Amino acid sequence: QVQLVQSGSELKKPGASVKVSCRASGYTFTNYALNWVRQAPGQGPEWMGWINTASGNPTYAPGFTGRFVISMDTSVSTAYLQISTLKAEDTAIYYCARKPFYFYHMDVWGQGTTVTVSS
C-alpha cells in the first residue's frame, strides 16, 4: 500500500541541527511531489516547501528559507528536511505529504515527526 514513513522523534538543543526523513513506498517516487508541513503545538498546518521529485528542485515558502533545506535520494525513495541553527520556536510536528503532479492537494501524509528544541 502507499505509505510515507517518517523518522522518529528528535530532542535537540538550541543551535543544533536536525534532519528528518520521509521514505515513500507503494508508488513510483518520482511521479509525485513531496511536501513538508509544520504544525506547531495547538496551531494549524503550515506549508514549508516541496521538492519536485522528477527534477530534484526544491521550492520554499516565505519564512522557510536559509535554515531549511529540502532534499531527496531517489535511490531509496526518500525525502529529507534539514533544519539548522534550531530555535525553541521550531518545536513542532513535521509532516511530509505527497502531491500528485497536475493536482492541487496533498493526498497521502506521513505519520509526523516531533521535533522538540529545548535546552
Partner 1 sequence: EVVLTQSPGTLSLSPGERATLSCRASQSVSSNYLAWYQQKPGQAPRLLIYGASSRATGIPDRFSGSGSGTDFTLAINRLEPEDFAVYYCQLYGSSPIFTFGPGTKVDI
From CA 117, how far away is CA 119, in angstroms rounded?
7
Of the candidate residues 9, 54, 107, 118, the single one contacting partner 1 (CB under 8 A): 107
Kindly state the DSSP code that residue 97 receives in the 8-state scheme.
Answer: E
Binding mask 46-85 for partner 1 (x = CB under 8 A): xx--x--------x-xx-----------------------
By the 8 A CB rule, do 56 and 50 touch?
no
Instruction: Out of 13, 41, 89, 104, point to the residue binding partner 1 (CB under 8 A).
Output: 104
CB of 75 to partner 1, least distance (A): 26
Residue 27 touches partner 1, criterion: CB under 8 A? no
Binding segment toward partner 1, per CB under 8 A, in 9-17, 19-27, 74-82, 101-109: 101-109
Sheet holding 78-83, edge to edge: 3-6, 18-25, 78-83, 68-73
Q: Which stretch binds partner 1 (CB under 8 A): 15-23, 41-49, 74-82, 83-91?
A: 41-49
| Cell numbers linked to 64 | 522557510
By CB under 8 A, name the binding residues for partner 1.
Answer: 35, 37, 44-47, 50, 59, 61-62, 95, 97, 103-112
